[in-house]
Structure 1
Amino acid sequence: MLVNPLLQPRTFTAAELAGGLNRTIHRIKGTQAPDVNNGQPVTAGLTLGAFDAIILLADHIAAPSTTRPYIQPNGVISADAFGAFPSTAPGSRIEIYGSNLSATTRAWSGADFSGSSAPTSLDGVSVTVGGRPTYVAYISPGQVNAVVPSDAPLGQVGVVVSGPAGVSDAYIVMVEALRPGLLAPPSFQASGKQYAAALFPDGQTFVLPSGAIPGVPSRPAKPGETIILYGIGFGPVTPNVPAGTLVGQLNSLSNPFQMFFGSTAATLAYYGLAPNLTGLYQFNVVVPNVADSATVPLTFSLAGQGGTQTLYIAVQR
C-alpha cells in the first residue's frame, strides 16, 4: 500500500516506488489525487492527494543483479553468416548471445589446440549442448561461438555457458541430424537478392555481378569454371572426421548431395569437410552451362531434402 499522510498532495519518486510494486489495484481514497486508473502501471512521478492511499501489486519484479552468464531470448542460432537458423546439428557451428558470457574477448588460436583437437574452453569459458562439451571458437561478454560435438543428442536439449562468473540457465534448442546452410552473410545482399559467398580459386574474387558490393572484388562465373562455396551442418563424412578436429584428409559427405544452378545440376569436384579447418564444409563446384543471368537461383539437396535458404549466383559467358 502507498499512503500519503500529509495535508497536501505528495509526489512519489522512482526510488520510493522501487521493488517492482507498480500496478494500481484499488484506490482507497482519491478526492484530491490525479486520475490513476485501476490496473494501470505506475513507475514514477505518482502524485497522491492529502490522506490518499492506493494498493499496489508487483507487476514486474526486477531481476536481481547478477554476474552469472545469461543467454538472451532467441540467443542461440546456427552461425549468422550460414542462415542463422534457430536449430543446429552435430558438428555444426552455433552462436550464443547474451550478457556476462565472458570477461575476455578473443578467438581460438593454434596455441589453444591440442594436436588436431580444438579447445573445449577458452579463458575458463565452456559450453555444453545436451550435456556434451562443445569446442569453443570465440568468446566475448556478449557472444560465444562454438562447434557442436558429434555426439550431441538429437531433439530438444539445453545449451549452457559456464565460466569464472558462474553457470547460465539452460537455453533449450533443437538439435537435428542435419541443418545445412551455405555461407551467405547479410553483407552479400545486392539489389534485394541474397548471394552466396562463392569464391574463385584465387581466394580473393567473389562470384557476384561486377561491382555489386562496393569494395568486394567480384565478377560473374563462366560455365565450366570451378568455384568454391562453404557451409555448416551438412552431416557426417566418409572417412569419419569427429567434430572439433582439424581436417587432415580428403573426405566426402556420407549423405547424397547435389547442387543446382536453376534447375541444372552442377558437377561437384569436392564436397566434404574443408581441409585444415574445423566444422566447415567445402564445395568445389563446376558451373554448369546455364543462361547468363545476374540472379541464377542456387539450391542444393542433401539426403533428399532441399535447403531452406534463398540464394543467388551470377553467371555470364
Structure 2
Amino acid sequence: MKIPKQLAVALLLVLLQGAGRAQKPILPAGGVVDLAGETRELAAGALIRLRGSNFATRTSRVPGQAMVESLQGVTVELQIGDSIKNAPLRLVSPETIEAQLPFDLTQAEIRIRVRNLDGVSDPDNATLLAAAPRLHTRVEFGRTHVSAFHQDGSPVTDDSPAAAGENISLVAGGLGPVDPPVPAGAEAPGDPLSYTVHGVTVRIGHVESAVSFAGLMPGTAGTYQINVQVPAELATGLHSITVESQGVSSQAGITIPVVNPDFKPNQFYVSPSGSPSGDGSREKPWDLATALAHPAAIKPGDTIWMLGGDYGNRKDRFESLLSGEPGRPIVLRQAPGVRATIQGGIVIRGRDAWYWGFEVTNDQYRDRTTENGTFGVEAFGPRTKLINLVVHDTIQGFSFWTPAEDAEAYGNIAYHNGYKGPQRGHGHGFYTQNRTGWKVIHDNIVFNQFGLGLQAYGSTAAFVENYDLRGNVLFNNGLAAGPLGRVDNIHFSGGKFVNRIRVEENFTYHTPTEGSGYNRFINTEEFPGTPTEGSIRNNYFIGGQFNEMSYWDRLTFTGNTIYTTQIQAMLSIRPDQQYAQHAWDNNSYFGRQVFYIQGRSNAVSQWRDVTRLDPNSKHDSNRPQGVWSFVRGNRYEPGRAHIVIYNWAGRNSVSVDVSKVLKRGVRYEIRDAQDFWGAPVATGAYNGNVIDIPMTGGNVSAVIGDTVPFQPKHTLPEFGVFVLIPLAP
C-alpha cells in the first residue's frame, strides 16, 4: 500500500535562530518523552523528544528521513549498565532534540544524557518497555481522529470515512523491535518489509480487527504502519480505536469515522405520553420505561429518539437495561429541535449503549439541606457513553462506577448538584471509581456543585486506576453550599493507591480573590512498594488555595499554568520515594510564589534547591495579563464546541476564532454555560470571521429549591465558558 509523500515526517529544514556560545546542556528529570504520545512510556525503536535548555545554539534538522549521530556537535547518549551508545538525531535546537532509540535495546532501565561541545547533562532515567504503542492523530474541525489512510493513499476523514470491511492503514509509533532488523535512524525498506517482533492487536469500536501487517512504514525512519480491516459489523458513526502490544494500550479517546451502508438500524420513539402498548413508532411511541426495558424489537445498533417534554415522576429513577454489542451500540438520544427532560434520574445497567443530548434534573428537589432528591445519572454498564447530557439539581450529577469498564463521559454539563449537610456540602458533579479498562472523561463542563467537581476516590476495596481526563472545564465547585464552600475542582485520592491517571489540557477556576478551593492528586502513605504513575500536563489551574500532588512514585507535571494568591503546589513523598523520580518542569506560576514541601512553606529558591524540580519553569508574582481563549470542538457533533475564556484584561467582549470547528454558512448560537437554558449570547450565520462574545453582566441559572444556602454569582468578566451549537438549516 502506497502512503503519500506528504505523510513523511521530515523535510529539509535548517533554520538559523540566533547565534552565540552554547553552555552545558540541561536535561531535567522527565525531559525525555515519546514523540507520538508525549508520554514517559518508551520502547526500543521509538522516536523520542528531549526537552531542556542549552542543547545547541540554533535549530538544525537533517534532510530527508535518514538520521545522524551528531548535529552541531550535539549527541544523545544512552547508557545501559556500563554500555553507552548514541541515539540517531533528526533535529536539535536550543531547547528540543528529536531522536530515535535503537531497535536492539532490551527491556531495562536506561540513562539518557545530552552532550554538546561545552559539557554533558545530568541523566534522565527512563524505563524501557517491550512495546509502548501510540497512534498518530490529526484534528479535523476540532475532532481528534486517528491518522489513517485508504488503499489509494487518501486520508480517512469525516467526509471520506472508513467503510466497514475496508482495509486501511494506521500510522503508529512505539511498537518495539522489528524483523528483519533495521538500523536506527535509517529509512525502512519496502522490500523486504520489516515486521514487528511483538504481536499487535487493534480494536475498532471495541471489536478486534484483523491485522495483515504491522511493521515499519517503508521510506520512513521510526514510524510504524498497521494494515487492518475495519470490522464488517460496525454501525455507521464514530468508533474508538486502540492498539495493544505486550499488555500496553495506546492512548484513550482516539476515534475513527466509519460508514456501513449495508447496516440499516431501526429508529424508535418514546414520548412523555407514550404507552407500553405502543410499537415504538413516532405515531405510537413507547413510554420511556418500556423502551429502557429493552423490548425484543430493539436490536444492537438501533436508535431510540426522545420526543420533547418531561419524563418521570420526580421521585423515582428509570432503570436502563438497553444492551447493544461492541461496534453496534443502542443509542438513546434527544430528538432534534426539542428539549427532552428526565425528571428524577436514570440508572444504567446494560452494556454498549449511548445516552445522548437530553436533560436530567429534578425540579421538585426543594429542600437542599437534605438528601431527599434523586441521583442524576448512575452508570454501571461496560462501554457506556454519556454524550452532551445536561445534568443539574440532583443529589449527584454523574456516578461513574467500576463495572462501567471502557466507558466514556463526553461533552456533558453538570451544575448545582448536591445538598448542604450540617458540616459541609455533599454531592459531586462526578463521583467515580475504576480498575479495569479506561475511564475516558473528556470535554465536560462541571461547576457550582454543593460538593466537588470531579471526585475519583477509592477505598480498600474500590480502586482509582486508568483515567484519562482531557479538555474538561471545572470551576467554583462547592460554591452552592455557601460563599466559603469552595472545595476541589478535581480530586484523586483514597483507596490502596491512585495509578495510571492522565490529566491533560483541562481548565479550572476558583475566583482567585477568594483564595479557597483546591485541586488534589494524592496517593497514599500506607502502601509503599506499589508503583504508581500519573501524568498531569498542560492544564490551567487558576485560583484556589493550593494544588497538591503527593506520594507518587513517578509523576509527570509539565506544561501547566497555575495562578493563586495562596500556595502554588504542595508536594510530599514517602521515605522510599525520591523527588528525582518526577518529571516536573516547564510550568508557569503566577501570583504568590509559595511552595510546600513535606508540609512546610518554601520560597521558589528553596523549592528548587530541595526538590531539583522546575529548572526551566517560569515564575511571575503578578496577576496574569491579556486574554486566554480556547475553542474545543465536539467529537460527536460537528460544529459544536466549548469556548473557555480567561479575561485578565477585563474586556467588555472577546473575539474568538471558531473557523477550525464551524463551517461557513452554518447557522449557530452561543449559550452561556452558567445560563444554559437562557437566551443565547450570540447568534448568526457563520461567515468565517471571528465572533464577539460579550464578557459583561451575565445571568446565572438559579439553584432549584426553597432552602438554598447560596445562589452563586456569575464569574464574568474575568472568566466565562460558552457552548457553540450549530443549528439546523
Using the size of structure 1 for normalisation, the TM-score is 0.66
Aligned to 1:136: 89
Identity %, equivalent residues: 28
CA drift of 1:107 comes to 1.6
Whether 1:198 aligns to 2:148 is yes
The verdict on how the C-alpha distance between 1:311 and 1:161 changes in structure 2, with shifts beyond 3 A counting, is same
CA drift of 1:166 comes to 2.3
Alignment partners' CA distance in 2, 1:195 and 1:201? 18
Whether 1:299 aligns to 2:256 is no
- Counterpart contact for 1:93–1:148, Cα < 8 Å: yes
Say which of 269, 278, 294 aligns to 2:212.
269
Amino acid corresponding to residue 209 of structure 1 in structure 2: D
Whether 1:102 aligns to 2:56 is yes
- Higher-Rg member (1/2): 1
Amino acid corresponding to residue 216 of structure 2 in structure 1: L
Aligned to 2:133: 180
Alignment partners' CA distance in 2, 1:290 and 1:97? 44
Aligned to 2:23: 67
Amino acid corresponding to residue 228 of structure 1 in structure 2: S
Local SS of the residue matching 2:183: coil
Alignment partners' CA distance in 2, 1:242 and 1:290? 40
Say which of 163, 166, 169 aligns to 2:119.
166
Alignment partners' CA distance in 1, 2:200 and 2:41? 21
Query: 1:135-181 CA deviation, whole Å, 9 max, x = no partner?
Result: 11111111100001134353332211111232211112222221121
Aligned to 1:76: 32
CA drift of 1:184 comes to 2.2
Say which of 224, 227, 235 aligns to 1:281.
224
Local SS of the residue matching 1:129: strand
Amino acid corresponding to residue 109 of structure 1 in structure 2: P
Amino acid corresponding to residue 97 of structure 2 in structure 1: V
Amino acid corresponding to residue 75 of structure 2 in structure 1: S
Say which of 121, 139, 143 aligns to 2:70.
121
Amino acid corresponding to residue 208 of structure 2 in structure 1: A
- Counterpart contact for 2:170–2:225, Cα < 8 Å: yes
Say which of 154, 161, 169 aligns to 2:107.
154
Aligned to 1:209: 158
Alignment partners' CA distance in 2, 1:305 and 1:158? 22
Aligned to 1:90: 44
Alignment partners' CA distance in 2, 1:166 and 1:138? 19
- Counterpart contact for 1:102–1:125, Cα < 8 Å: yes
Aligned to 1:290: 233
The verdict on how the C-alpha distance between 1:189 and 1:196 changes in structure 2, with shifts beyond 3 A counting, is farther
- Counterpart contact for 2:167–2:228, Cα < 8 Å: yes
Q: Over aligned residues, Cα RMSD in angstroms?
A: 2.5
The verdict on how the C-alpha distance between 1:240 and 1:199 changes in structure 2, with shifts beyond 3 A counting, is same
Alignment partners' CA distance in 1, 2:107 and 2:95? 27
Aligned to 1:260: 203
Aligned to 2:658: none
- Counterpart contact for 2:106–2:130, Cα < 8 Å: no
CA drift of 1:266 comes to 2.1
CA drift of 1:276 comes to 1.8
Alignment partners' CA distance in 2, 1:99 and 1:188? 33
Alignment partners' CA distance in 1, 2:61 and 2:128? 24
Alignment partners' CA distance in 1, 2:119 and 2:150? 45
Using the size of structure 2 for normalisation, the TM-score is 0.30
> How many residue pairs are counted as aligned between the two chains?
234
- Counterpart contact for 1:83–1:184, Cα < 8 Å: no
Aligned to 1:314: 257
Local SS of the residue matching 2:51: strand
Alignment partners' CA distance in 2, 1:152 and 1:127? 15
- Counterpart contact for 2:91–2:99, Cα < 8 Å: yes
Alignment partners' CA distance in 1, 2:244 and 2:141? 23
Whether 1:229 aligns to 2:179 is no
Alignment partners' CA distance in 1, 2:26 and 2:156? 39
Alignment partners' CA distance in 2, 1:259 and 1:97? 31
Query: 1:230-286 CA deviation, whole Å, 9 max, x = no partner?
Result: 112112222232323321221322222221212322232321111122111111222
The verdict on how the C-alpha distance between 1:105 and 1:294 changes in structure 2, with shifts beyond 3 A counting, is farther
Amino acid corresponding to residue 156 of structure 1 in structure 2: E
- Counterpart contact for 2:103–2:182, Cα < 8 Å: no
CA drift of 1:78 comes to 0.4
- Tell which has more relative contact order, 1 or 2 (C-alpha 8 A, sep 6+): 1
CA drift of 1:314 comes to 0.6
Local SS of the residue matching 2:31: strand
Amino acid corresponding to residue 285 of structure 1 in structure 2: V
Unaligned runs of 5+ in 1: 1-65, 211-218
Amino acid corresponding to residue 296 of structure 1 in structure 2: H
The verdict on how the C-alpha distance between 1:104 and 1:303 changes in structure 2, with shifts beyond 3 A counting, is same
Write out the 4+ residue segments of structure 1 that deviate beyond 6 Å after TM superposition.
Answer: none
Alignment partners' CA distance in 2, 1:97 and 1:275? 28
Unaligned runs of 5+ in 2: 1-21, 261-729
Local SS of the residue matching 1:195: strand
